[in-house]
């Protein structure tokens, strides 16, 4: 009888715990100014209701919780602040941060855990800066996917991560290893994504997706920061590019291409990639291909500015890299302005990891300096970024049914974009992570 009673009590306790896990968490935000979406007008004195991480109501005025019939709701008072959607950075590398003072051979002594542990502070900085979602474009699958899961579980704090894992690259390409003896690089270079020939590239795409990739990242051209004097022109053949895109799309993954040189940008666009990273050398024919395929440009202006400063102060930067920095970065402004003038789809991306994590909002300053309006710049990091992610039903705007990813600043970023460098409040999926 005693054992039966204990069993019954345990069962009841489990039922109570189970029922409590479904209890609704309700929050009410009073927003002094609200930019619900970059396509909408700025509204004053708004009430946002959030239930279980989802926005359920947006009302004019400051409505009391008794009027809302939500007596147990938590009130968040942002009446003196500008409230807007959480920001999205479409090009980051959360597992490293470039530092001219770091031993360049440090990675030879470290394990995956070293990268993961350092990444915790990078993720925290990005979230504190108002970036509630990021797309990681090139980190080892052994590190990035455990980090992704840790954020999802709530073990660590950071933006939600959409990740490519290992980059698809040809042997000797931008994402392969350079600058070491061949017998050494043969042992430690590579990764799942190194491939040559159309069939081998199909295999590599499948392998990377098998490892957990949400998106496929390829190096269609040479890169500025790879230690080889191979330039920034096309590296994959047209046949390899077509095989990569076809395989990825058949397996439900979008493809983004690191591409600087014009020939490589055009080849990637013809192959049907969904976005181009950097796009440093664009011409009118390239613009027409962007339009034909409705492709996005992720310009990463901040990365170019960061390495331009480094080349002046880092005597240890390899000559092959320094020469490319000096050649490529001066071309970026004209190419970006050409894309902007022709109304090409543009999504926000910083290449953080090249620049410091947490300084992501500096990209806004360059977007505006090179011709975007403040509203266009905000749109690139909200609506357009969400569309490129395929997450427009959940992210990018504040409206009923969407995730409660909400930030606020003091001041008006529609008038002064630099206010986005000082985010005061961060909510991701209904959970408050920062409130000054």
Q: What is the pLDDT of residues 261-304, one digit of tens each?
A: 999 999 999 999 999 999 999 999 999 999 999 999 999 999 99
The structure's pTM equals 0.92
CA dist 123 and 433 (Å) reads: 12
Q: Is the pLDDT of residue 318 over 90?
A: no
Do strands 43-51 and 54-60 pair parallel, antiparallel, or not at all (unpaired)?
antiparallel
The yes-or-no verdict on residue 150 having pLDDT over 70 is: yes
Task: With a cut of 60, say whether residue 7 has pLDDT above it.
Answer: no
- Percent of the chain exceeding pLDDT 70 equals 90
| 390-420 residue pLDDT tens | 999 999 999 999 999 999 999 999 999 999 9
Q: Is the pLDDT of residue 176 over 80?
A: no
- pLDDT at 14 exceeding the cut of 70: no
Taking residues 241-263, what's their average pLDDT?
Answer: 97
Q: What is the pLDDT of residue 99?
A: 84
Residue with the larger pLDDT of the pair 168 and 317: 168
Give me 212's structure tokens.
């957990």
How would residue 151 be classed by pLDDT, with cut points 50, 70 and 90?
very high
pLDDT at residue 24, rounded to an integer: 61
């Amino acid at each position: 009888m005693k054992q039966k009673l204990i069993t019954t009590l345990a069962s009841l306790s489990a039922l109570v715990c189970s029922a409590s896990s479904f209890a609704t968490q309700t929050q009410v935000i009073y927003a002094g100014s609200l930019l619900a979406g970059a396509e909408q007008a700025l509204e004053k004195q708004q009430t946002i209701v959030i239930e279980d991480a989802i926005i359920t109501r947006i009302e004019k005025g400051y409505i009391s919780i008794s009027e809302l019939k939500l007596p147990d709701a938590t009130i968040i008072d942002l009446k003196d602040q500008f409230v807007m959607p959480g920001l999205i950075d479409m090009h980051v590398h959360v597992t490293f941060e470039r530092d001219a003072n770091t031993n360049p051979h440090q990675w030879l002594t470290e394990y995956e855990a070293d990268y993961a542990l350092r990444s915790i502070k990078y993720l925290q900085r990005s979230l504190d800066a108002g970036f509630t979602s990021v797309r990681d474009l090139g980190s080892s699958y052994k590190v990035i996917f455990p980090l992704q899961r840790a954020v999802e579980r709530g073990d660590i704090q950071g933006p939600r991560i959409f990740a490519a894992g290992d980059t698809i690259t040809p042997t000797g390409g931008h994402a392969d290893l350079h600058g070491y003896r061949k017998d050494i690089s043969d042992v430690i270079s590579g990764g799942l994504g190194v491939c040559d020939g159309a069939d081998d590239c199909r295999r590599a795409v499948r392998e990377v997706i098998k490892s957990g990739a949400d998106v496929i990242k390829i190096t269609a051209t040479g890169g500025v920061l790879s230690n080889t004097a191979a330039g920034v022109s096309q590296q994959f053949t047209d046949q390899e590019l077509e095989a990569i895109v076809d395989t990825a799309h058949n397996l439900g993954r979008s493809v983004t291409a690191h591409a600087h040189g014009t020939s490589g940008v055009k080849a990637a666009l013809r192959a049907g990639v969904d976005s181009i990273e950097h796009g440093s050398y664009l011409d009118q024919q390239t613009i027409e291909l962007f339009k034909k395929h409705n492709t996005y440009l992720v310009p990463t202006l901040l990365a170019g500015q960061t390495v331009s400063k480094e080349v002046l102060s880092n005597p240890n930067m390899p000559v092959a890299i320094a020469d490319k920095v000096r050649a490529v970065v001066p071309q970026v402004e004209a190419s970006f302005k050409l894309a902007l003038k022709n109304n090409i789809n543009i999504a926000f991306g910083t290449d953080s990891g090249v620049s410091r994590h947490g300084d992501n909002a500096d990209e806004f300053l360059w977007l505006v300096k090179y011709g975007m309006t403040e509203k266009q710049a905000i749109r690139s990091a909200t609506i357009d970024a969400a569309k490129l992610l395929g997450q427009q039903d959940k992210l990018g705007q504040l409206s009923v049914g969407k995730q409660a990813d909400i930030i606020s600043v003091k001041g008006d970023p529609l008038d002064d974009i630099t206010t986005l460098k000082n985010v005061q409040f961060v909510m991701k999926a209904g959970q408050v992570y920062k409130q000054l």
